[in-house]
Amino acid sequence: MILRIAILLLVFFMPGCEERYMTELQSEETGLLAVEGVLTNENISHKINLSFPYRTLNGDGTPASGAVVQVQEGTGTVYTFSEDPTTPGAYYSPPFRAVFGVTYTLQIGLNGRQYQAQDSSVPVGPMGPLQVQPIDEQFELVLNETGDDPYYIDHQLSWKNTSACLPNEACEGRVVFYDLKSIDVNEIYKPAKKQFLFPAGTTVIRKKHSVSAAYRAYLRSVLSETEWRGGIFDVDRANPTSNLTSGATGFFAITTVVSDTTVVQ
């Protein structure tokens, strides 16, 4: 009995051996077109980004230039997106609003192939006051979950015009909070993120976006592969869901937006 206990203790405290394993990543040419486009009820020039997936770890996608990009509003007006000559793969519309209750259809023609997607917006609830907490004479944003419908809030922060902005520093940042009203165990046990701290005098521009059912499913699948990955309940890897037709990936979304601006004092 004493010998058995001694052997168990020896095995338990034996230092683990680690061997470094190096292998080359095997990339595959899929020909998929990656589509990124979110149209809102803001009267602005909307952007749709087209690219081909990159083939190296942490690489850059290849811009998809020369496409014909159009969005039809219901069965009426067709908006043509023009490629920015200084940014290949970025296509911009003339200013217009994507109105609530109307289905918008994206049509893309590229290299003899046609791609299509549809989405429509849902209402967005009001935002409560901006929530921050002080940390070591600086501040951190806090998510104050509201309402019963899924949404996300995009924060653009800048303290460029304050005395806290030192030379050669960016003095700006972006923080996005997702409240998809889902119960995902990999979200609950997701890895901790690095704190984003900012000084007093920072201007915060918030935009709260509504999320349709299809857009919510897409965001959940993307978060499961990014921010929520690395915990103890990771899901199997898979391509995110998409509303694009065969041969394309990504998502074409229509959202309703409310926004405000706050200077943190």
Predicted confidence (pLDDT) per residue in 233-243, tens digit: 555 565 778 99
**Which residues in the chain land under pLDDT 50?**
3, 5-14
- List Cα–Cα distances, 85 to 55, 96, 166, 202, in angstroms: 25, 21, 34, 34
pLDDT tens by residue, 32-57: 899 999 999 999 999 999 999 876 66
Cβ pair 64, 33 in contact under 8 A: yes
Q: How far apart are CA 153 and CA 259, in angstroms?
A: 9
pTM summary value? 0.81
CATH 2.60.40 residue ranges in the chain?
Answer: 33-119
What is the second-level CATH architecture of the domain 33-119?
Sandwich (2.60)
Phi, psi of 107 (to 5 degrees): -130, 130
- Which long-range contacts link 241-244 to residues 24+ away (Cβ below 8 Å)? 241/214, 241/217, 242/117, 242/218, 243/117, 243/118, 243/119, 243/214, 243/218, 244/33, 244/35, 244/115, 244/116, 244/117
Q: How far apart are CA 80 and CA 70, in angstroms?
A: 5
